Amino acid sequence: MKSSIPHIASNTFREAVRDRVLYNLIAFALLLSGAAILVGQISIEIEKLVVINLGLTAVSLFGVVIAIFIGIGLVSKEIEKRTLYTVLSRPVRRWEFIVGKFFGLAGTLTVNTFFMAIGVFAALFYVSHRFVRADALIFVALYFIILEFLIVCSLSLLFSSFSSPLLSAVFAFSLFVIGSFSADLRNFAAMAHGVSRWLATGAAYLVPNFSAFNVITSIAHEQPVAGQLILQNTLYALFYAAMALSGAVLIFEYRDLK
């Protein structure tokens, strides 16, 4: 039997485009071009740094916001509109629906990131008038940002599979913030004793480690990223997203949709 995942993914992508998600690109372009022009006038010698830092931070934050706000509605909206019943009445399994939604959202964010990356490089060319070899490192940062999106998408879907959109947004955003402090969480765990140490360590490993994906500052200073980090971050993001997605599939599989 042919899998329905590609169909659901492409529908999710089309729906996101119809919802004018890609309009954020306009805000991004304005932000970046404004910063590129303005910073040269109000600061000293950081035009390139600002374009890289601001550009990549905006790619990351815009993407995370899109991932959360689209992701939390992917399941609940289908239930609300009752389109889910039509989909599931066809030969589509519940897990295929969840996985298809995940790939659709991830695809939307990848396309969005691709256009934003063009904007970052255009702004970089505007301020530097040329590209240097070290600018290629920006691709590594963009790749890490996409890995980050995979995790956020999977978490949004996980929460969306059992909770209301509002609560899902709160959970997903909170996890994003906590995930940015995961290194601190591990340090706290190391300082604790007994049961609390085990609990804190467990919590530290359970929350996603978003700080591992943030190489924006070092890349802005043209510091190379180790190949091992790229490999291990890739595997970490894939396993973590798979874990959250499996949780979403498990919950959705047993969810009473009547």
Contact positions vs another protein (CB under 8 A): 39, 42-46, 49-50, 52-54, 57, 60-61, 177, 180-181, 184, 210-211, 214, 216-218, 220-221, 223
For residues 138, 59, 184, 137, the Cα torsion angle rounded to the nearest 10 degrees is 0
* Least CB distance to another protein at residue 3 (A): 37
CB atoms within 10 A of CB 11: 16
Which of 50, 84 has the CB closer to another protein? Answer: 50
Distance CA 146, CA 234 (A): 10
* Least CB distance to another protein at residue 216 (A): 5
Which of 64, 251 has the CB closer to another protein? Answer: 64
* Least CB distance to another protein at residue 44 (A): 5
Q: Which residues of 129-146 are buried (b: 16+ CB within 10 A; e: fewer)?
A: eeeeeebebbebbbbbbb
Position of tokens 């490089």? 121
* Least CB distance to another protein at residue 185 (A): 12
Which of 184, 253 has the CB closer to another protein? Answer: 184
Distance CA 250, CA 244 (A): 10
Distance CA 245, CA 95 (A): 9
Which of 86, 211 has the CB closer to another protein? Answer: 211
Which of 134, 257 has the CB closer to another protein? Answer: 134
In this structure, which amino acid lies at residue 212? A
* Least CB distance to another protein at residue 210 (A): 7
Which of 21, 52 has the CB closer to another protein? Answer: 52
* Least CB distance to another protein at residue 43 (A): 4
Which of 162, 236 has the CB closer to another protein? Answer: 236
* Least CB distance to another protein at residue 187 (A): 12
